[in-house]
Structures are given as structure tokens and as C-alpha cells.
Structure 1
Amino acid sequence: MLFQIVIVAAILACLFVIKQWLSSRKQTLDKKHVVITGGSSGIGKSVAIEVARMGANVTLIARDVQKLESAKLEVTKNCLNPDHQIVQYISLDVGDNYDAVEKALHAAEDDMGPIYLLVNCAGMAICGRLEDTSVSDIKHLLNLNILGTLYPIKAVISRMKCRGEGRIVLVASQAALIGIYGYSVYSSTKFALRGLAEALHMECKPYNVSVTLALPPDTDTPGFANEEKTKPLETRLISQSAGLLSPQVVAKQLIKDTMDGNFYSTVGFESFLLKILCAGMAPVSSLSEFILQVMLMGLFRAICVGYLISFHRIIRNCMKTRDKTKKSE
């Protein structure tokens, strides 16, 4: 038995080394055109800086022109070859009108060449129980988080397929794999992105177009700071279990996983745990990943049940505290 384990470990180690060697040979964005929605701040801006350091030409898309101007300057300062790289921006609401999105992205290709990498970072969270969430907020989240990702992909996907190359990233969240108190609407939109990514991967693989689904935990961005203003106590206490990461760390891992051709991009133990446990019918990026899923799924299910028990305990305690407060009043 011990001998068999050693053999399996050795095979996995060899496969890992081979994969790293192969991926290192193709990890280049030099002179490639990268488009990033939600690129004026947060994870999107950090991704833009990361690809600029790799020699890419960058198109930033967001709504706020002032933020876009500031982001453009910061990204330009981080270019690998400032004299030869182009950084531009487009002010656009990607979840509003498909024709406008298609026109803008096709014009960007005319200006800077074919889009090799599309990173969909546009999105936001509005926290609160479903009954406390306004219909206008629900519609806004659906439009931005789902249509704001689907529209840009639809606008570029046929051209990528025709060229026989391209990479698409959908930035979701851990909330794409687990529903959390206070995230009923937000999780709905992120679960939708997971379904989109899985179906899109199946449609794109024959054309050498890769799809990556990023599952970052709470990240220290302006959007997260805004989210904190409406976050219920239960949500805040549950979310604290995964900690808070910097957008630079998330962006670096996202680009690495994308260039390696991985379907999932995760950072931290909790994201890794959920990725394994919720694999389901998701694409398998490597033999070693598949073996880990088979070996760890049962154990991780037990660990996650422990997490769920603690989450429900938090919710009950918060309810008891509120009841005591009401009685004292």
C-alpha cells in the first residue's frame, strides 16, 4: 500500500513539473490586446497593472471617466515597454445595451488589434435579506453582474473562435459556490456566472479558446468597502472566516491560472476547499486536479458541514441578541 502511494505521488509530481514547464513556455501577453471591464478600480485595475507588466496593450472599460483617467495613468506607469505599449479606456455601462457594448469592443479591436484576453471584472454586491432588498437593486445586480459579463463575451466570442485563439475570464466569487445569509440576490447572480462559464467552456474548447472562472474571497477594494455599509451582522461574521485579501494577490493568481489554462482560479484555503467540493460537472484542468477531487471530496464535505454548523450558530445567536434587545425596549 505504501509503495502504491509513493508511485502515485511520484506520478503527480512529474505531471506537475511537466505542466509547469509547458505553461511557462506559453505564458506571454507581449503585444497582446487585453480588455478588462470594471478596470477602473479594485481587482480589475490590479489585473490591468499585472498584464501591463507582461507587455500587453490594455483597454479599460468602466463608467466613471475620472476613475478611468486615473487608472490609465497608473497602468501606463507599470508598462513593461512604455514606448511600445498602448493603454486606452472606454466609458461604457456593459450591462445596459448590447449593441453599444458590441460596437465599443469591435471599435477597440479596430484600434488596437484582436482581443486576445477578455477579463470580466464589472460587478458589485448589494447585501441584505431578500425581503429587505428593493426591486430596483435586484434589477441592477442582475443587469450588471450577469448581463454585464454576458454581453462583452457575446460581442467577442465569434471573432475569437474564427481566429482559433483567445482567453475569457469571468470574475465571480466564493458566492458562486455557496449561498450565504445576506447574499440571496448577489449569490444568484454569481451562481449564474458559474453556469455560464461551464457551458461556455464546452462551446469554446474545440476552437482553442479557454475559459477561466475566478472565485476570489472578500477582497480589499472600493466595492467591498461600499458593500460593508449594508452588510447584515450575520453576513459580516460569516465572511470573516475567509479573511480579506489584497486585489494584487487576487489579480496575480487570476492571470497565472488563466495563462495556465485552468478553469478555476482560486486564492486561499476556503476557495480551494469549495472548488474541490463543488466540482460537480465542472471541467477538469489536469489529471492531478482530478485525483485531488476524488481523494478529498468526502473529507472536504465533512469539513464544510462543520463550517455550515458554525454559520447557523452565528445566525441563531444574532437572532437571540435581537430578540433580547426588542424585549428590553
Structure 2
Amino acid sequence: MEPMTMLVLAFQLLALFSIAGALLIYLICKVREESQACNAEQPASRVVLVTSADTALGLQLCTYLANKGCRVFAGMKEARDSLPAKLLCGWMKIREYSEEPISGTIIPMRLDVTREDVLREATIAMGAHLNANERGIAAVINTSGSVYRGRVESQDVQHWEHMLKTNILGTLRVAKAFVGFLRPTRGRLLYLGGSTAGASMGGDGLVAFNASRVAVEKCADELRKELQPYGVNIVALDTCGMTVESLYKAPVAQTISQVPGAPTQYTADVLSASALQVIERALWDYTPQQRYTLLSHNKYQFTLPCRSSLRLHRPSESPVAATQSV
């Protein structure tokens, strides 16, 4: 065979192998993209824990995620006779008989991030509610926290201790208690970040709170490093632009009639529709970001009305005032 013929044949073989290699790489990438898209659209688990439904924000998240088809564990300090427990129970009953019943559900559960014994009981209760084929849950959203305003020279030291115990130690206790449910599913832990939400109000009695929020951010950074090898993601919901009281305020009941059995309304207007969609992304993005900003334009942010009507009897006790400790 002539040298020129051998050279042409060699180039032809090289071109053939190059085309085959490129085609193989394309097929591999295509299969991987389809697999990732399938996993993103159909997450392995639709079970979510909200650590505190005692807040209006936590209550709003529970009902929103249940409307989206999730099974939501709603943590609260009193899961039977408290106002949030009654509101959730009534909300579920009304949705059961509506024309378009929800596909999700809400399971009230006693949970207090400041008490180890209650957290242990919560993990046992959660495990009992999981199906046999469920290895864990998709996410934990830590909505528990505490805020007290006051000048350093006049503020009660017990308020400092409670904020540090709830905000800092509570974050670590939640991770310790529920990370075992997140490892099997490679789930994620969401917390309320953005210490600048309070830092921008310097000088108006938030010294201790801001200090606790900075510590929470550092706890989250270290947890992210420790849990990353297990596939557990730590995600911050940046609340910059929201007032600190709105993060932990209680739902406010409003009875519009003195007649027994009259509809009782409650307000849960903490997050706008766009902010709720951001939280959905934080929950279900195939590769989550470390931080999601809830308010895209803080300068022009305003609160959207969001009222729900529930047919509940007025509680026998006096109306519950808005609290900042849950």
C-alpha cells in the first residue's frame, strides 16, 4: 500500500473515531440531563417539617406546602389546645369538604427547640408517622426563634438568655435531632438567615438579637461543612428587608361576630406570593443555592393581604396577643 493511501486511510479512521466519540459523549450528557430533570420534577420525598407553626410565618408555610401536595409536620409547643393547632385543624377540615380537596396533609406535632426531651419525643413521633418505604424526609424548615427589643442598660438579662437559647442553641438542637431524617434522602435544612434584617435597624434595641443572628449564620456555615459529605444541604432564607417582629409574630385571630359558631378569621400575611415561590425553589431545586433572597426589591416591598376564614368557636381564653418568642 502506498504511503499516501495509508495516510488518507489513517485520517479517515481518525475522523470516524472522533465522530463516534463525540456522539457517545452527547448521548451520555443527554441521559444525565434527563435524569436530573426527572429527579428535579419528582423529588424522592414530599415530607417537610416546619419547626414552629406557632408563628404566622410557620402557619402560612404549613398551609401553603400542604396545598402543594406535601405532607407537613407542623411543630408547635402545644399541639392540641393552642390557637395555631385549632386553626390548622379547622383549615384541614374545611379543605376536606371543599370542591377541590388538597392532596397534602398537615400533622400537628409537639416540638420545642429549647427542650431536649421534647425534641426526642418529636423524632419518635415523626418516625412513627413515616410509611414503611420512606427512609426520611425532604426538608426541615426552622422557623423557631425569639426576639425582644430593649436597650442594653435596661433590658432584662433573661431576655438575652432566652434569645441565645432559642436562636443559637435551638438551631444546633434542630440539626442534631433531625439530621438523621435528612441523610437518607440527601435532604436540606432551611433556616431564617439574613442577620442584616435587624442590623439595618441598629440603635433601636436589637443588640442581643443581632448578635444571636450572626452566631446563627456561623453555625449554619459550620453545619454546611460538616454535613456536605452526607449530601445534606444547609440553605439560608435571606429575610433582609423584613422586620424582625414579623418573623416570629403569632397568628392573630379575629372574631367578626358574637354569635357562637361564627366564622373566625386569622391573619397570616407574612410572605408574599413571590416569596413563597422562592421557598419552593429552595426546597426543590436539584442543586440548591446556599442562600435564597425572599424579597427581591426590599425598598419597595409591601405586605400583601392574606386572610383565611375558618368556622371555629371563639377560644374560651382571651384573644392571644402577638408574641415574639416561639
TM-score normalized by structure 1? 0.60
Question: Contact 2:44–2:138 (CA<8 Å) still a contact in 1?
Answer: no
1:67 counterpart = 2:84? yes
Aligned counterpart for 1:142 among listed residues 158, 161, 164: 164
Question: 1:26 is matched with which residue?
Answer: 40
Query: Aligned in 2, Cα 1:165/1:223: closer, same or farther, shift over 3 Å?
Result: closer
Take 2:42 and 2:54, find their aligned partners in 1: how far apart are those partners? 23
Aligned counterpart for 1:89 among listed residues 105, 108, 113: 108
Question: Contact 1:116–1:160 (CA<8 Å) still a contact in 2?
Answer: yes
Q: CA deviation at 1:196?
A: 1.4
Question: 1:129 is matched with which residue?
Answer: 151
Tell which structure's C-alpha radius of gyration is larger: 2
Query: Aligned in 2, Cα 1:66/1:212: closer, same or farther, shift over 3 Å?
Result: same
1:111 counterpart = 2:129? yes
Q: CA deviation at 1:203?
A: 1.7
Deviations, residues 125-183 of structure 1 (Å, cap 9, x unaligned): 2112222221111111112222222212211113422x151111011344378462221
Query: Aligned in 2, Cα 1:70/1:98: closer, same or farther, shift over 3 Å?
Result: same
1:258 counterpart = 2:283? yes
List aligned pairs for 1:298-313, cutoff 5 A. none
Question: Secondary structure, in 3 states, of the residue corresponding to 2:54?
Answer: coil
Q: CA deviation at 1:263?
A: 1.0
Take 1:59 and 1:104, find their aligned partners in 2: how far apart are those partners? 10
Q: CA deviation at 1:93?
A: 2.1
Deviations, residues 217-243 of structure 1 (Å, cap 9, x unaligned): 3258484589xxxxxxxxxxxxxxxxx
Question: Counterpart amino acid of 2:179?
Answer: I
Aligned counterpart for 1:202 among listed residues 225, 232, 246: 225
The structure in which a higher percent of residues are helix is 1
Question: Contact 2:56–2:250 (CA<8 Å) still a contact in 1?
Answer: no
> Which runs of no fewer than 5 residues in structure 1 stay unpaired?
1-18, 227-244, 273-329
Query: Aligned in 2, Cα 1:83/1:213: closer, same or farther, shift over 3 Å?
Result: closer
Give aligned-pair identity as a percent.
19
Q: CA deviation at 1:271?
A: 6.8
Query: Aligned in 2, Cα 1:74/1:192: closer, same or farther, shift over 3 Å?
Result: farther
Take 2:92 and 2:41, find their aligned partners in 1: how far apart are those partners? 20
Query: Aligned in 2, Cα 1:265/1:168: closer, same or farther, shift over 3 Å?
Result: same
Question: Contact 2:45–2:137 (CA<8 Å) still a contact in 1?
Answer: no
List aligned pairs for 1:281-292, cutoff 5 A. none
RMSD after superposition: 3.5
Question: Counterpart amino acid of 1:63?
Answer: K
Take 1:151 and 1:266, find their aligned partners in 2: how far apart are those partners? 25
1:167 counterpart = 2:185? no
Q: CA deviation at 1:266?
A: 1.0
Question: Contact 1:213–1:265 (CA<8 Å) still a contact in 2?
Answer: yes
Question: Contact 1:30–1:56 (CA<8 Å) still a contact in 2?
Answer: no
Query: Aligned in 2, Cα 1:151/1:109: closer, same or farther, shift over 3 Å?
Result: same
Question: Secondary structure, in 3 states, of the residue corresponding to 1:128?
Answer: coil
Query: Aligned in 2, Cα 1:76/1:152: closer, same or farther, shift over 3 Å?
Result: farther
Question: Secondary structure, in 3 states, of the residue corresponding to 2:153?
Answer: helix
Aligned counterpart for 2:242 among listed residues 192, 196, 218: 218
Deviations, residues 26-75 of structure 1 (Å, cap 9, x unaligned): 15568622110121332211221222122111111122433222134336
Take 1:201 and 1:150, find their aligned partners in 2: how far apart are those partners? 12
> Which runs of no fewer than 5 residues in structure 2 stay unpaired?
1-32, 252-268, 300-326
Query: Aligned in 2, Cα 1:83/1:270: closer, same or farther, shift over 3 Å?
Result: closer
List aligned pairs for 1:274-285, cutoff 5 A. none
Question: Contact 1:124–1:223 (CA<8 Å) still a contact in 2?
Answer: yes
Deviations, residues 173-213 of structure 1 (Å, cap 9, x unaligned): 44378462221111111111111111111222222211111
Aligned counterpart for 1:58 among listed residues 72, 76, 99: 72
Take 2:147 and 2:37, find their aligned partners in 1: how far apart are those partners? 34
Question: Secondary structure, in 3 states, of the residue corresponding to 1:115?
Answer: coil
Question: Counterpart amino acid of 2:171?
Answer: T
Question: 1:11 is matched with which residue?
Answer: none
